[in-house]
Amino acid sequence: MRTLEEVQATLEIAKLKEEDLLSTVHCLSFGDNVSSSDYCLMELDETLCKLIEAGESLVIRGDKDERAVLCSSDKTYDLKIADTSNLLLLVPGCRTPDQLSDDQDSIHIWGFCNSYWELRKQRPKLKKLKKLLMENPYEGPAIRGQEENTENRYTMEDLLERIQASEEELKTHLETIHACQIDGYWRVLDFDYEMKLLGHVAQLVDSESWSFNKVPLHTSLEELTPLEPREMIEHCLNCYGKRYAESGEVFYALNEDSVCRGLALMLLQNAVKFNLKEFQDVWQQSVPEGMSTRLEQLKGVALVDRTSRPETIGLLRVEDLPEDTVERFNHLFSLREKWTEDDITPYIQDLCGEKQTTGALLTKYARSSMQNGVKVFNSRRPVAT
């Protein structure tokens, strides 16, 4: 027990006034083996608190060589330890001062911490997904007498264990990269095989003189099933079109931008640089009748070089660039010293966090200047080429 003089001396050292203290005083008691390593605290925002209260789970994901992230069903959060100078006490059945009574026993402390996990919403880390699925891409049905490669195949549960993303973000990206489920495993199509499927569909649309906005599913399957499995034809239509029903029949409206982009990738796949004018001519001839090709359709997948003579175009897909922001900018500036805002925006758009703009990213990681009356951006630091 402390004497009144000892309490007053403590108040003076702490620079506290006696009248500011609560009239009710309670002693704290600690268990015999209480340690700061017994518990970890995590600070949750209102949204995550409601998820926990509703009985939903939060999952920590990451391999041994990765920085851990926390995932809800639809969002991903960065985990960071925050230290505090105030000792955080864990008290079961903790009460506020107005709930305490004069005759209450001492308060028992279960544990204590001087740090906690702080959460910050971040982009899911999805680059690894394509890398895993490309270990064994689907190249079509196995040829008779040839065994299919069953190694390196992943179920949804396998992917959730390996990929640092929420389930909803993972499913959305699987759709983006045109992955499909085959025999219970998620597979990405081999590029040549996917283009073969798209070629079959495009040729059928032309030969039947269909509007690309009204491609009948039943007839398409009847015509193309002798060439490829029904499931793959329908998957191709789902990737490059939108399904709808009319008068009891199912149709697909092919997405002009998606089809033109896919066929452009096929043309650019094996060429380092392509004469821009020649490319545009060949590209327009390769798409179904009625579709119009435009360079805007290739934002984020191909880059035009207006400074070369003749002008050229080459493959540069945003999905092949580093996920880290600093590494992304370094890589881009190693490819081209100066970028216009229109050229660089498709390659940094996905780096933007909540309420962040590409303009803010450029201000932070690049330096602007005027060149021939056009604003261009270059690196703030020397870049190894």
Which helix (H) or strand (E) segment holds residue 5: the answer is helix 4-13
Band of the pLDDT at 39, cuts 50, 70, 90?
confident
Q: Is the pLDDT of residue 260 over 70?
A: yes
Give the contacts of 307 (CB within 8 A, at least 6 positions apart). Answer: none
At the topology level, CATH places domain 191-254 in Arc Repressor Mutant, subunit A (1.10.10)
Band of the pLDDT at 109, cuts 50, 70, 90?
confident
Please compute the mean of the pLDDT values over residues 153-176 and round it to a whole number: 95
Domain boundaries, the chain: 4-121, 126-139+154-188, 191-254
Please compute the mean of the pLDDT values over residues 160-173 and round it to a whole number: 95
Residue for token digits 């499909």? 180
The region, left, alpha or beta by phi > 0 then psi within -120 to 50, assigned to residue 181 is: beta
184 class by beta-carbon count within 10 Å (0-12 exposed, 13-18 middle, 19+ buried): exposed
Least confident range of 91-105, 151-165, 256-270:
91-105
d(Cα 259, Cα 239) in Å, to the nearest integer? Answer: 9
Give the contacts of 224 (CB within 8 A, at least 6 positions apart). Answer: 200, 201, 204, 233
Q: Which two tokens stand for residue 79?
A: 């985990």
pLDDT of residue 41: 86
Name which residue leads in pLDDT, 259 or 91.
259
pLDDT of residue 96: 73
d(Cα 154, Cα 178) in Å, to the nearest integer? Answer: 15
Name the nearest CA neighbour of 77 among 45, 116, 53, 50: 45
Least confident range of 74-83, 100-109, 235-244:
100-109
d(Cα 204, Cα 207) in Å, to the nearest integer? Answer: 5
Least confident range of 102-116, 277-291, 293-307, 340-354:
102-116
Query: What Rg value do the Cα atoms of the chain yield, rounded?
Result: 30
pLDDT of residue 263: 94
Q: Is the pLDDT of residue 383 over 80?
A: no
66-94 per-position pLDDT tens digit? 888 999 999 999 999 888 888 888 887 77
Q: Model's pTM, two decimal places? A: 0.82
pLDDT of residue 102: 61
pLDDT of residue 14: 85
3 state DSSP class of 230: helix
Q: Round the average pLDDT of the chain to a whole number and report it.
A: 89
* Percentage of the chain exceeding pLDDT 90: 64
Band of the pLDDT at 101, cuts 50, 70, 90?
low
3 state DSSP class of 351: helix
Band of the pLDDT at 284, cuts 50, 70, 90?
very high
d(Cα 127, Cα 321) in Å, to the nearest integer? Answer: 9
d(Cα 20, Cα 27) in Å, to the nearest integer? Answer: 18
CB 149 within 8 A of CB 112: no
